Amino acid sequence: MDTITNPRDPRLLAVAGLESAAARARDGRYLVEGPRLVRQALAAGVLRAAWLLDDLDDDALAGELAAAGIDCLAAPARLGPRLIGTSYRTR
């Protein structure tokens, strides 16, 4: 799993761009937030990639994603708002 720390990383910017409905429709991709929704998307077979915030997400979820062969990137929680435009609480 790669860890992204640069807020200008193109992979981070690509995800951040999905906050608009037009971008989601154009790219055919969407965002789900939180372990429960990620697990539901994984079970439904629609999850293509995942971002885990290193000080918020659990190792069990990372293991489930790895076992399913899902491309997974990690980022520090401070970059969370760049991913979905909201703030995260840390543990």
Whether residue 43 is predicted with pLDDT greater than 60 in this model: the reply is yes
CB neighbours of 19 closer than 8 A, spacing ≥ 6?
31, 84, 85
Query: Residue 75's beta-bridge partner residues?
Result: 53
Q: Is the model's pLDDT at 32 over the cut of 50? A: yes
Q: pLDDT band at 88, cuts 50/70/90?
A: very low
Q: Is 80 exposed, middle or buried (0-12, 13-18, 19+ CB in 10 A)?
A: buried
Does residue 82 or residue 71 have the better pLDDT? Answer: 71
Which residue do the tokens 């293509």 mark? Answer: 48
Report the alpha-carbon distance of residue 1 to residue 29 in Å, rounded: 21
Confidence grade of residue 87 (pLDDT, cut at 50, 70, 90): very low
Q: What is the mean pLDDT of the chain?
A: 80
Q: What is the pTM of this model?
A: 0.72
